[in-house]
């Protein structure tokens, strides 16, 4: 077996193991699942939740949205270059083609991300409109609000889908690496990233009131996404095919938009509504963001 393939397979197994372990800690350990925690226990859980919110904020801005912007712009640039080549052959500059200049100047990547944001916004609005008994605030002081189904599970599902798609693309990026050093460096960055994200996702599933069997299902699928993406990338690299493509970049952009919605309108407001000291909450949110920003140096 080639050394590069050995490195990739080892990374695949490590990703699956680390993600499962980190995700199952808050999802299965009862200490994280006490809804009526009081005193010091409640404060610690609140601060862990704020740290997780900072992790999601960092993952949203430094990883998901950043990757989507780069990939969409890159793929559109390839398409526009293909359009420009015949013009260059005929000695026609881009400035003489108004439609091409307009395409180059328009923020298509930002538009795709915005569409993902409004897609979740519309979906949740339709759910609340069709089910008026659903409360607009899923929790009050950490206790589920009785009297109707909570939208927390829906939001957890959207978060799970978004992170799973991003994990698939991360694994794909590792799988198509052509050098051992590059594959190992990127895999270590993804391992650190996935470990923290998996823990935060498990904690969010607990806080949203998702049932235990669904938590296990979500975390199991989430853990498989990066290895699946890596396996696809390995297959593409061995066959000589080109990975990525405009369609995948667009899907990643929509996923980034959904992540923006969940992060800024669901997770952060929920954590900031607790009764803990504001500066303490800020410190833990900033700490979570700093972790993800530091990982972005290598990822």
| pLDDT on residue 110 | 92
Nearest Cα to 64, choosing from 298, 282, 290, 296?
296
| pLDDT on residue 283 | 95
HEC assignment per residue over the chain: CCHHHHHHHHHHHHHHHHHHHHHHHHHHCHHHHCCCCCHHHHHHHHHHHHHHHHHHHHHHHHHHHHHHHHHHHHHHHHHHHHHHHHHHHCCCCHHHCHHHHHHHHCCHHHHHHHHHHHHHHHHHHHHHHHCCCCCCCCEECCEECCCCCCCHHHHHHHHHHHHHHHHHHHHHHHHCCCCHHHHHHHHHHHHHHHHHHHHHHHHHHHHCCCCHHHHHHHHHHHHHHHHHHHHHHHHHHHHCCCCCCHHHHHHHHHHHHHHHHHHHHHHHHHHHCCCCCHHHHHHHHHHHHHHHHHHCCCC
| pLDDT on residue 104 | 55
| pLDDT on residue 29 | 84
DSSP-assigned beta bridge partners for residue 139? 144
| pLDDT on residue 145 | 40
- Angle, helices 180-207 vs 278-295, to 10°: value is 150
| pLDDT on residue 281 | 92
Per-residue pLDDT of the chain (299 residues; tens, 9 = 90+): 577 788 888 888 888 898 899 999 988 888 887 666 778 888 888 899 899 889 989 888 888 888 888 888 888 888 777 776 655 544 444 444 444 444 557 888 999 999 989 988 888 788 777 766 554 444 433 434 443 445 567 778 888 888 888 888 878 777 777 777 777 777 777 787 788 889 988 888 888 888 888 889 999 999 999 888 888 878 776 765 544 567 778 888 888 888 888 888 878 888 888 788 999 999 999 999 999 888 888 76
C-alpha 139/C-alpha 64 separation (Å) is 27
Q: What is the pTM of this model?
A: 0.72
C-alpha 23/C-alpha 16 separation (Å) is 11
């Amino acid at each position: 077996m080639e050394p590069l393939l050995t490195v990739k397979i080892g990374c695949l197994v490590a990703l699956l193991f680390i993600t499962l372990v980190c995700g199952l800690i808050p999802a299965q350990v009862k200490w994280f699942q006490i809804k009526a925690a009081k005193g010091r226990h409640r404060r610690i859980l609140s601060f862990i939740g704020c740290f997780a919110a900072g992790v999601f904020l960092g993952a949203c801005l430094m990883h998901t949205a950043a990757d989507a912007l780069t990939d969409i712009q890159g793929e559109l640039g390839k398409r526009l270059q293909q359009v420009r080549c015949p013009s260059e052959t005929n000695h026609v500059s881009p400035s003489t083609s108004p439609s091409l200049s307009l395409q180059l100047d328009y923020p298509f990547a930002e538009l795709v991300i915005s569409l993902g944001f409004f897609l979740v916004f519309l979906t949740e609005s339709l759910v609340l409109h069709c089910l008026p008994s659903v409360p607009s605030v899923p929790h009050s002081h950490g206790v589920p609000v009785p009297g109707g189904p909570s939208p927390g599970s829906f939001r957890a599902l959207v978060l799970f889908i978004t992170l799973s798609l991003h994990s698939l693309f991360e694994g794909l990026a590792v799988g198509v690496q052509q050098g051992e050093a590059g594959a190992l460096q990127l895999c270590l960055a993804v391992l650190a990233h996935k470990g923290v994200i998996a823990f935060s996702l498990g904690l969010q599933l607990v806080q949203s009131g998702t049932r235990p069997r669904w938590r296990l299902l979500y975390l199991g699928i989430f853990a498989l996404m990066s290895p699946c993406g890596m396996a696809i990338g390995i297959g593409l690299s061995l066959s000589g095919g080109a990975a990525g493509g405009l369609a995948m970049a667009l899907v990643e952009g929509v996923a980034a938009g959904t992540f923006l919605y969940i992060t800024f309108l669901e997770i952060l407001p929920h954590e900031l509504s607790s009764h803990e000291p504001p500066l303490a909450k800020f410190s833990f949110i900033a700490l979570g963001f700093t972790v993800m920003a530091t990982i972005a140096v290598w990822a």
